[in-house]
Structure 1
């Protein structure tokens, strides 16, 4: 009997498998509370969870660890060692992490550890278990090629490389390790941490008395510090050219550039470089800092690092060798102020990364192709961003209790996020925009009424006019006008005592009497129309700043289930921005085929390879003529991605950005640590095209269509397909049809490219 409980993390997440074995049918309807065997597959869990809870006396414990024989006793928590000694536990350990890397399975340790489990427990004869495991490997992975099968065979065989730990009887008297003190918010210690420790069901209802309406504290992911990466990047300043590309592509915002002024540098204990550019930062110090405990170790940063003269500034090393770096990270985030105000963060890739990410440490897969786009948008517009999120991967890693990666800047400003369904996410987002629009109309109406009142102070009138002039400016001018207006309104409200004193000085006894009566009735401020409007407007001040409305969903929601809503929203002409994270399958539900799945790819519901052409969502949207549309791939052209997002948000109307996002379900042979490079490969060979359609150019008599990618190298197309299991497995299962399907895929790519060329050639000046 098996029952599995798990969290929603895509990488390094917690899964607890409750297994029972017996000769008769097992009908237990409750979890295993007193196991005689426990396996801990991630060594970081030793401190995150109560891994020995309920383990029976004389039971068995298996640990996957990179710690060597002499290091193990030193690193095990005292609480765990004490339990081992008191309960006479047989402890075994194995370095399945390194074995998986050596075999070529990346971070997939499950087969190795399953083999070790059968060898240790002998719930069935080990030889029989190994034989059955290898049969099942053929059944599970046979369609992915002989190489994958052989690697898993090797994993089964190397499951024998476990060792037994000698238990020191003195451990039975060890005290608990000293608990680290923290100054974290009470909500984190009292609610978030118990839930993350799998003890959420022990929390009383009263713990949630401030979350009755469903709101949740932002930025809780920063307190997790899971430390689940096997390897993390280390920075070599001598080879760094300060391009910030590593931070730009990081899926988890766990590597960032920090710029330190003289005071901040004096308090630091780490190496820095002198800032090369921009000019506004001259004389300051520069450092690339890694948050090693939040990094998931994908390696994309190191992979794309251009380095200096062929020597990269980043390389991947074991996490255990870099734990001291966490102190440096803490210093940077706690003591180094953001310098983004010194540069235009929207101007180029380098400057964009001086902006604090307001989407950090999400539960997405290591190397995720989606999250770099989401993160970048928060860096550009996050302080005024509203997000309507479709259900799918992007909703799971963005808002699964208790982890919230959307956070706020040092002023407390950040994205407001809510999740809807596949079928109505675009309507949900348009509803947000329409509501915001209506509320801003109310602000304008009340502002004009305030300005029309004769005795409204001129300072208030001037601030009101400045806000009206800049209310649709999403930049610094709009933010300043909004803040100045709110301050003027605060200043413009007279207290009841000030009003009484004024009328007394004027000798107006009747008004003095009226104001004193108002004060006696509980009034604290002037009840005149001007002051009343000031108070009413202050209640609406959250609408003073122009909001940036984003609607985010995957291809399943956008191309398929929610397409009707998407079409309705872009047809409406409303000023919303839609980001489609195109993985070409339903990623969150297991890799089912969508209308975005291309010809020749294997996916669920297309087990023999998709037979029909991929839907060109972008071109469909251009037929309206008033919708901004762009197709991007960050790893292929970082600057084009930035430009498309910037143009889309600036466009006064609906915009649609379709972003290519490599996914773990693609089965990249090079691994998800090369997901950014895979985007480049896709564009280079013609599989994916980069383009923008900007209706604003047509008004100027220019062609609204711009093809940003170069002439494809078509001779690389077939090699690109062979580099992903979703295509290569077709050749294994259906060799006779594979060539036809792959040729069709290439022909379709050429057909699409040629249609773009025809659009490019049109004369729009006539």
Structure 2
């Protein structure tokens, strides 16, 4: 079958333009039930790509982030960590910026346009020093995608370039005007995007456009950030047209396919909880038959899809040698079905099916370590990482894409309602999980040597050769108890004076045992 014939068959299967205009239009207008006939795309379980870009969340939260442009350094943290593709950046050459600014007649709008930009050391001074045309770095907020989680403000931190304001203080039209300017600006020229500065990947229109926002994920959802970052890193190197996804049923499939809204612009399919790895193997084999060996295939799943009911299929995939990447969205709980315990849950963690009480102090089983189990399969690339460590995350994804065989990346994902933390705390909690040995960073690359010590790298973790890192504020060890103290799922383990109970101390001992095992495997003990 020719490529042209394949494209025609796909068009006959789903008219994407008609889907966006007619079907999404009716849903947005609230008239779908009355105006739409029986829908063939529903029967076929098809949704056009990128339709979630047409979804408007501006009514959800009372507050929205506002840029204090003079404080912005162009670090890209806010763009990277936003789970909803609601805050994006562009670098505009100085001459183009001045032309655009001069073309705006209204003084207030001119001031607003200029207020999105700053001369940063990264994109202005460094470029000018090398003899290039310096660029103005701009940050823009899409009011239709922002849910008001304030994650961007949290990760901006001491830069203080973002703060939250009530939407009615400036009015939504003010933000819509700013977003219109973003859309009208040219894409960031390649010369401002450094392949050595991995966070720059989100400046690439192709990379950032793989996940358009508008998904129904919770405010501040850690999973959505992981998906955005994985797709951006893959598209930046290999191109958007060379990506496919197979997703196990879970949160990621629910918020990404709430009909008729699809945040992906790459092809993806949904399988049952237990079948993502098996389905991905079949897709890979068919792609290879078609000569599509260069395409990057990712299987997605959470605790159920990869740790539990889908674990057998995952193990079989890893033993197959097939070139399939697996992204495990590790929330340590069954987030989608109401917060039940999984084998990835921590010892002592309170969740549904592991209630804390007199008879049982929460979960009484040790956590399953999927990364270590995956490493014991022959010739499998494995990484354990978090979105709060973007360089480590991006290197892990790029390594998985380069590796000619199975690859597994386990990502720590904050689940705000089930972990009992604030909507803006996804990155903060992920960092703390690493600092307290709750979730160590690691990369296992079979190409690095014959021994495990050569293959395993624990770089990125604090105090590599020590049991615990030290809290610079107190001079005391940072332990799992310090992590647990910040999350609602462990709150019942502390007495009124803040002292941990024995089960939490047991969990701390287990996390230390796990860390020491990793140190030993990596040749650090």
Aligned residue in 1 for 2:47: 216
Aligned residue in 2 for 1:679: 430
Is 1:331 paired with 2:181?
yes
Aligned residue in 2 for 1:577: 325
Is 1:376 paired with 2:225?
no
Task: For residue 350 of structure 1, report the CA deviation from its aligned partner.
Answer: 2.9
Q: 1:654 aligns with which of 392, 395, 406?
A: 406
Q: Distance in 2 between matches of 1:392 and 1:187?
A: 25
Task: For residue 719 of structure 1, report the CA deviation from its aligned partner.
Answer: 2.6
Aligned residue in 1 for 2:161: 313
Aligned residue in 2 for 1:51: none
Aligned residue in 2 for 1:618: 371
Contact 2:97 2:136 in 1 (8 A): no
Q: 1:393 aligns with which of 236, 243, 251?
A: 251
Contact 1:292 1:319 in 2 (8 A): no
Contact 2:91 2:189 in 1 (8 A): no
Contact 1:426 1:565 in 2 (8 A): yes
Task: For residue 702 of structure 1, report the CA deviation from its aligned partner.
Answer: 7.2
Contact 1:196 1:402 in 2 (8 A): no
Q: Distance in 2 between matches of 1:647 and 1:748?
A: 29
Q: Distance in 2 between matches of 1:558 and 1:659?
A: 12
Contact 1:601 1:730 in 2 (8 A): no
Is 1:664 paired with 2:514?
no
Give deviations 1:661-719, integer Å, cap 9, x for gaps: 010233434x1212211111111112110010000101699700001211333444313
Q: Distance in 1 between matches of 2:321 and 2:96?
A: 50
Is 1:567 paired with 2:346?
no
Aligned residue in 1 for 2:348: 600
Task: For residue 292 of structure 1, report the CA deviation from its aligned partner.
Answer: 1.9
Contact 2:349 2:489 in 1 (8 A): yes
Give deviations 1:581-615, integer Å, cap 9, x for gaps: 00000000000011001101011111130111101
Q: Which secondary structure does the structure 2 equivalent of 1:703 belong to?
A: helix
Task: For residue 211 of structure 1, report the CA deviation from its aligned partner.
Answer: 7.4
- Structure 1 residues 347 and 702: CA distance shift in structure 2, 3 A: farther
Q: Which runs of 5+ in 1 are unaligned?
A: 1-183, 408-414, 441-542
Contact 1:303 1:673 in 2 (8 A): yes
Q: 1:274 aligns with which of 112, 116, 119?
A: 119
- Structure 1 residues 434 and 203: CA distance shift in structure 2, 3 A: farther
- Structure 1 residues 214 and 604: CA distance shift in structure 2, 3 A: closer
Q: Distance in 2 between matches of 1:649 and 1:715?
A: 34
Task: For residue 405 of structure 1, report the CA deviation from its aligned partner.
Answer: 0.6
Q: Distance in 1 between matches of 2:96 and 2:193?
A: 24
Aligned residue in 2 for 1:24: none
Aligned residue in 1 for 2:20: 188
State which structure, 1 or 2, has the greater radius of gyration over its C-alpha atoms. 1
Is 1:350 paired with 2:196?
no
Which gives a bigger RCO, structure 1 or 2 (Cα 8 Å, sep 6+)?
Answer: 2
CA RMSD of aligned residues (A): 2.6
Give deviations 1:358-401, integer Å, cap 9, x for gaps: 11222111111111110012212240210000100000111221
Q: 1:302 aligns with which of 153, 169, 175?
A: 153
Give deviations 1:217-259, integer Å, cap 9, x for gaps: 2111111222112211111111011111110110111001112
Q: Which secondary structure does the structure 2 equivalent of 1:672 belong to?
A: coil
Aligned residue in 1 for 2:457: 706
Q: 2:501 aligns with which of 720, 723, 739?
A: 739
Aligned residue in 2 for 1:256: 88
Give deviations 1:65-96, integer Å, cap 9, x for gaps: xxxxxxxxxxxxxxxxxxxxxxxxxxxxxxxx
Q: Which secondary structure does the structure 2 equivalent of 1:226 belong to?
A: coil
Q: Distance in 1 between matches of 2:133 and 2:46?
A: 42
Contact 2:201 2:232 in 1 (8 A): yes
Give deviations 1:471-500, integer Å, cap 9, x for gaps: xxxxxxxxxxxxxxxxxxxxxxxxxxxxxx
